[in-house]
Amino acid sequence: MLIVATGYGRFHLLILALCGWAVSSDAIEVLSVSFLLPSATCDFGLSSTDKGNLNSVIFLGMIVGGYFWGSLADKAGRRTVLLGSLTVNGLGGLASSVAQSFWLFLLLRFISGVGVGGSIPVIFSYFTEFQPKAKRGMMISVLATFWMFGNIIAAGLAWAIIPQKLGVVTPSFTYDSWRVFIAVCTIPSLTSAAIFILMPESPKFLIETGKEDMAVAVLRKVHRINKPKEFKVFPYTFVTLSGDEDEKSKRDDVLPRNLNCCARYWIATKQMLTTTVRLFRKPMAGRTIVILVINFTLSFGYYGLWLWFPEIFSRIEKNGGSPCDVGLNTTAPNITVETNITCHLPDDWVYLSGFLTAASNLPGNLLTIFLMDKIGRKGLLASSMVVSGGCVFFILFVHNKTQNLLVACLFGAVSTVGWNSLDVLGAELFPTAVRSTAFGLQSVFGRTGAILGNQVFGLLVDVHCAVPLLLVASMLTFGGLASIKLPNTTKADIH
């Protein structure tokens, strides 16, 4: 492969750092909402249903963004889409920090979600196409660990900022600590967008779209950075595709080079459905359906519980005992807002618990880095989801906040293995021409699962928390068993 001839060195570390920072920025934006729920309840007078809507709205934006940006990246290029989606993510989040009404806050979080939904699938496509086969599984696993770092950063920032008395509060305008927290959380996405201006396009995408000269220029640049003493002897001056790959490079959906930006986006948008239909034709139809089911069930289970952990910690800290024994509908009359909805300002234990739960992802990430190419993606995914379902079931039997924290940490460690395995499989199961579209479609199903998971939790948590917990456990177990039907992609060539 041509990418092997460039060597493996400083460029790949650079692209890992940049793509990792972008992945962390997406994690921060998605997970930051869970940490502000207890405080935002007091400002907006939120009910449990409102909190479910707030947790869900970013995923609704990600559905729109994931499909649109993902398909666009297969036509207009990975780098261009990353620039746009990361910018939308950052600006939407920054604007939401000043929103004074709940409906406007929801709208701006939706816009931020449109940006997040675009960057997540495209980052993995972009990164994968710079990796040689021998290192691909391990390096995608390493990239996936940056989601954990984003989670830890969000939890750490929440712990450091929200309990403090920061910002300004006036009769007509409020910009308190949790709003400062939101603004700070946009820094990673905006800085990632700025750095991507300096990065090259994926050479595999350039070759696939008939831009061989540009692909060679990118490969030379990679070779020069990796092997500065040998850059003058890069062995290739041109590239061609042969056999089936050559036929794929001549597909009729490649955008003409002489179109302006607006025309390219318009034509690319019309081509989305064509690319999507291809995913549901043989030989890809079976794997497409299975991977979509897994994305839905894992997102339903994980986000349907994970984004509620700070709220559960807050209520257990307030009421004591088990979340299901006490009943999450009891409240402490610490503060009453005009809507007569009571709220409780959490203490440091809630944010410390959130930080430790986020840090619990580390063992799972280390495990996947070393075992991804030994055990295989499918085995790790199946076992992780089934064990995660068991962890959720045991939340029903905890009796105090320390036991709840331990089970939450175990869930975080085990579920991370499943997410990392799914990230690798999602990148390897589909060819270059449809890879970003496939990621985008997976994002749609995953975000739909996340929305429904949060809505179900918000509607049922005050009835009895055993109901949503059992549903989450069942969904995770079902998805893990479904993953057995996927093909094995360990150390196989990507097309």
Q: Please, what are the averages of pLDDT over each run of 10 residues along the chain (495 residues)?
A: 69 91 91 81 80 85 77 78 91 92 92 87 84 78 85 90 82 86 94 91 81 81 74 54 41 52 60 78 86 93 80 66 51 38 62 84 83 80 92 82 85 88 81 75 84 83 78 92 82 59
What are the C-alpha distances in Å from 463 to residues 23, 340, 399, 449? 36, 19, 19, 21
C-beta of residue 354 within 8 angstroms of C-beta of residue 310: yes
CATH number at residue 156: 1.20.1250.20
C-beta of residue 475 within 8 angstroms of C-beta of residue 297: yes
How far apart are the C-alpha atoms of 366 and 115, rounded to whole Å?
29
Which tokens hold the place of 396? 């029903």
pLDDT at 241 (0 to 100): 46
Is residue 491 in a domain? no
Is residue 35 in a domain? yes
**Given the structure tokens 């000269």, which residue do they identify?**
213
Is residue 218 in a domain? yes
How far apart are the C-alpha atoms of 389 and 479, rounded to whole Å?
10
Is residue 175 in a domain? yes
Is residue 367 in a domain? yes
Is residue 321 in a domain? yes
Which residue type sits at 344?
Answer: H
Is residue 85 in a domain? yes
pLDDT at 271 (0 to 100): 67
pLDDT at 24 (0 to 100): 93
C-beta of residue 461 within 8 angstroms of C-beta of residue 326: no
Is residue 495 in a domain? no
Number of domains in the chain: 1
Which tokens hold the place of 408? 């939450």
**What SS3 state is found at 176?**
coil
pLDDT at 435 (0 to 100): 75
pLDDT at 75 (0 to 100): 74
Measured from the Cβ of residue 29, the count of other Cβ atoms closer than 10 Å reads 29
Query: Which domain covers residue 34, as residue numbers?
Result: 2-485
Residue 171 is classified by DSSP as S
pLDDT at 236 (0 to 100): 54
What b/e string do you get for 451-464 counting C-beta neighbours within 10 Å, with b at 16 or more? bbbbbbbbebbeee
Task: State the chain's maximal CA–CA distance in angstroms.
Answer: 74
